[in-house]
Amino acid sequence: MRKSRLHVAFQGERGSYSHEACERYFGPHIAVTPLRTLRDVFHAVESGHNVFGVVPVENSYEGSINETHDLLASTTSKVCGEILVRVRHCLIGKPGTRADEITTVYSHPQALAQCARYLRISKMEAVPTYDTAGSVKLIKAMRSRKVAAIASRRAAELYSMRIIAEGIEDSGVNYTRFLVLGKRAAPRSGDDKTSIIFGVEHKPGSLYRALKALSRSGINLTKIESRPVKNAPWQYNFYVDFHGHMWDKSCHEALRDLRERSTFVKILGSYPTATS
């Protein structure tokens, strides 16, 4: 019987940082499916066979990707991995273009924000688009030499465009964290992380009591963030990452106690901790 090829979906175009994250995690010999939106990626995983998805969840400089967090609240997929990608942005233009010719720069809003100082000093107008590599594809089709894009070196090479400047991000330690989505939970690795979402009653001390359930078991939180509940003004869900696998004794007991102090608990998944 012929073995099915692994398919991995991501938001954006080939040459994007999401594409890089796919290949870093699964290797270069996968079938990738570039999609227009993050929602499309979640849908592809939920409805497909032998399909994984890779989505950005936070950036070390600009913070969380809110849309990803909101989609995690309703997905039936499991978080089964994570990848850290070093982001090194390039100013990319048409072959022969000089930096002093550029007046307008296209890229994803996150990339534009990560290069805000460079754009301000260079007096270039920032125009948001849906993807970094997609912006390179976009300006390649334009007639003007006054336009450029912010994307990766690989995107420039893939679309045969010129790197005018490299390393233009405001922070020299710029990383984006990606999550791997699948239909099955990941096995224990011995160095795991667990991601959950929970809610509490809108009463004084309710969040404190919920977090105390984790603290009592010696759980080391690596992230906590709140997001508003859709169609419920001034109510919030809490997104938490912590060290350990959900089936480790201490984590299992902590999650049991958390359920008793919360209105709901959703375990997104346990997965091997990524290294930079």
Question: Catalytic positions, please?
Answer: 176, 178
8 A C-beta contact, residue 165 and residue 91: yes
Both structure tokens of 192: 């795991």
**Three-state SS at 142:** coil
Q: Which residues lie below 8 Å from residue 252, measured CB to CB, with a gap of 6+?
A: 246
CB atoms within 10 A of CB 151: 33
Q: Which residue has the tokens 């690989």?
A: 154
Q: What is the CA radius of gyration of the chain?
A: 21
Give the C-alpha separation, 274 to 261, whole Å.
30
Q: What is the C-alpha separation between 106 and 92, in angstroms, rounded?
A: 10
* H or E stretch at 22: helix 17-26
Would you tell me how many other CB atoms lie within 10 Å of the CB of residue 49? Answer: 7
